[in-house]
């Protein structure tokens, strides 16, 4: 019997925590408090500590975390924000929705993160912020970005939606700097398939600056303090108590799950050695410096990507493409007047990369099957 390998399978994890999660939900039931409250406070404290920040503010989604961060910095109409075009839509969508213009900078073809060496030429008088994305679970190259931002007095907002617990380049003998704590504000998503996933939408903003943190905290409740007195025009982006209760249960296992992902990534690397020696341009994920990659996704670059993907689908192996069309070529951004060829590294990545199954519960047999079928494709 052939073995199917789903691209992602949430069920084993949810089942293993069924009792614990049901009791946490029961606790919320007893209190009948469904918005914010002590569970959200506790989650915020846990995430702030985990991200090496002083503050964390629970919000309704990762997309709202980005939007609220832009609001809190006062970025708006006519301003420019620098970001990569090879990312999830929300990174640029939030910039546009606030009234600012996304200014794209191409990616480093090895890490798929924004290429810092191309940022400076894009900075204008209108630039207000750099918005690096820690794609797939590895931090963008933050030192040159932070240096440039300091010199030009720009905000740095980190899109760390895929990178909870990811660490950037440790200082010589110290621990790495966690994603989200290096810039002015860090944005996280607890979308169900993230390393820490809710049973619905949820997000978080982390900060060290008390004023920015306070502003995000107020903006998520329509800018009101006290209730019904509005200092700013905010939005409704509160974190549900039930989501926080579930996330608090799951948070206890996050490190263990992340280590399991890392172990599987390492094992893929070992199993793929034979293919690398046989197939030109077959590229595994590249880890820069001594970064701590948390492998929210395991993305390889391969020749004949679309044919390989179809072959794997027919063999019962799930894969995905993050992302098939870079943002500068999206219909909704046609007003930015970009053309094919403007960001070649992003366009090439969109054509050549493939995400393979990686989750803590993926078994060795399943991994062997994925690699075996990829080998079979290239040996045909």
Ligand X SMILES: Cc1ncc(COP(=O)(O)O)c(C=O)c1O
323-342 footprint of ligand X as x/- string (CB under 6 A): --------------------
DSSP for 295-363 reads: -SSEEEE-TTHHHHHHHHHHTTB--B-S-SS-GGGSGGGGGG---TTSSHHHHHHHHHEEEEP--TT--
Q: Which stretch binds ligand X (CB under 6 A): 105-113, 140-148, 157-165, 232-240?
A: 157-165
Q: Judged by CB under 6 A, does residue 161 bind ligand X?
A: yes
Give the total of residues touching ligand X (CB under 6 A): 15
189: number of Cβ within 10 Å = 30
Structure tokens at 280: 């030109």
Render the burial of 225-263: b for 16+ CB within 10 Å, e for the rest: eeeeeeeeebbebbbbbbbbbbbbbbbebbeebbebbbe
Is 87 among the residues that bind ligand X (CB under 6 A)? yes
Interface with ligand X, residue 201, by CB under 6 A: yes
Of 42-50, 154-162, 166-174, 355-363: span binding ligand X (CB under 6 A)? 154-162
Tell which residue, 183, 201, 203, 181, has the closest CA to residue 192.
201
Nearer to ligand X by Cβ, of 133 and 244: the residue is 133
Minimal distance in Å, beta carbon 100 to ligand X? Answer: 16
Answer yes or no whether residue 91 interacts with ligand X by CB under 6 A: yes
Sign of the CA dihedral with 126 first, then 160, 43, and 194 last = positive
62 binds ligand X (CB under 6 A): yes
Q: Which is nearer to ligand X, 80 or 159 (CB)?
A: 159
Tokens 């008390």 — which residue? 210
Among 159, 167, 240, 352, binds ligand X (CB under 6 A): 159
Cβ closest to ligand X, residue 71 vs residue 374: 71
Query: Is 291 in a helix, a strand, or coil?
Result: coil
1, 353 Cβ separation under 8 angstroms: no
- Burial class of residue 19 (count of CB atoms within 10 Å of its CB; 0-12, 13-18, 19+): exposed
Residues 131-150 that bind ligand X (CB under 6 A): 133
Binding status of residue 158 toward ligand X by CB under 6 A: no
Sheet holding 155-159, edge to edge: 55-59, 203-207, 185-189, 155-159, 127-130, 80-83, 101-104
Q: Which one, 189 or 291, has the nearer CB to ligand X?
A: 189
Is the bond into 151 cis (omega within 30 degrees of 0)? no
Nearest one of 325, 302, 321 to 313, comparing CA atoms: 321
Out of 67, 86, 88, 333, point to the residue binding ligand X (CB under 6 A): 88
Give the Cα separation of 59 and 131 in Å (integer): 19
DSSP labels, 201-232: --EEEEES-HHHHHHHHHHTBTTBSSTT-BSS
Closest approach of Cβ 133 to ligand X, in Å?
5
Residue nearer to ligand X on the CB measure, 73 or 87: 87
Nearer Cβ to ligand X (44/315): 44
In whole angstroms, how close is the CB of 97 to ligand X at the nearest point? 12
C-alpha span between 288 and 112 (Å, rounded): 11
Residue from 73, 138, 181, 189 touching ligand X (CB under 6 A): that is 189
- Applying the rule CB under 6 A, the residues between 285 and 324 that interact with ligand X are none
* 111 counts as binding ligand X under rule CB under 6 A: no
Nearer to ligand X, 63 or 69 (CB): 63
Of 33-41, 87-95, 267-275, 350-358, which segment contacts ligand X by CB under 6 A? Answer: 87-95
| Closer residue to ligand X, CB minimum distance, 90 or 213 | 90
Q: How far is the CB of 66 from ligand X (least distance, A)?
A: 6
Question: Taking CB under 6 A as the rule, does residue 181 contact ligand X?
Answer: no
CB of 192 to ligand X, least distance (A): 9
Cross-strand partners of 309: none
Residue 237 in the binding site for ligand X (CB under 6 A): no
Structure tokens that stand for 252 in this block: 């206890």
Near ligand X by CB under 6 A: residue from 40, 59, 81, 90: 90
The residues binding ligand X (CB under 6 A) are: 61-63, 87-88, 90-91, 133, 159, 161-162, 189, 191, 201, 203
């Amino acid at each position: 019997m052939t073995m199917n390998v789903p691209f992602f399978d949430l069920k084993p994890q949810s089942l293993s925590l069924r009792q614990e999660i049901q009791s946490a939900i029961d606790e919320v039931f007893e209190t009948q408090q469904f918005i914010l409250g002590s569970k959200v406070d506790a989650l915020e404290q846990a995430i702030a500590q985990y991200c090496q920040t002083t503050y964390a503010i629970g919000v309704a989604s990762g997309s709202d975390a980005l939007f609220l961060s832009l609001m809190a910095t006062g970025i708006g109409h006519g301003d420019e924000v620098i970001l990569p075009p090879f990312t999830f839509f929300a990174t640029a969508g939030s910039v546009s929705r606030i009234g600012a213009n996304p200014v794209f900078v191409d990616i480093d073809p090895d890490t798929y993160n924004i290429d810092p060496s191309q940022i400076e030429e894009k900075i204008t008088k209108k630039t207000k912020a750099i918005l690096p994305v820690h794609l797939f679970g590895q931090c963008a190259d933050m030192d040159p970005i932070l240096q440039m931002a300091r010199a030009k007095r720009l905000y740095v907002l980190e899109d760390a939606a895929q990178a909870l617990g990811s660490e950037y380049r440790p200082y010589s003998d110290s621990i790495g700097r966690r994603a989200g704590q290096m810039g002015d504000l860090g944005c996280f998503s607890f979308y169900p398939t993230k390393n820490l996933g809710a049973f619905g939408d949820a997000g978080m903003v982390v900060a060290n600056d008390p004023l920015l943190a306070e502003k995000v905290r107020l903006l998520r409740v329509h800018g009101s303090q006290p209730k019904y007195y509005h200092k700013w025009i905010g939005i409704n982006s509160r974190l549900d108590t039930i989501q926080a209760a579930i996330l608090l249960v799951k948070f206890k296992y996050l490190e263990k799950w992340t280590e399991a992902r890392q172990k599987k990534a390492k094992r893929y690397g070992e199993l793929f050695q034979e293919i690398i020696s046989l197939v030109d341009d077959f590229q595994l994920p590249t880890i820069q410096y001594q970064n701590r990659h948390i492998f929210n996704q395991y993305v390889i670059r391969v020749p004949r990507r679309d044919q390989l993907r179809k072959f794997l689908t027919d063999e019962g192996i799930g894969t995905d493409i993050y992302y098939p069309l870079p943002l500068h070529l999206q219909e909704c951004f046609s007003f930015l007047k970009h053309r094919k060829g403007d960001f070649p590294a992003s366009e090439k990545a969109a054509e050549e990369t493939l995400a393979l199954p990686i989750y803590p519960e993926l078994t060795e047999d399943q991994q062997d099957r994925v690699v075996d079928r990829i080998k079979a494709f290239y040996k045909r």
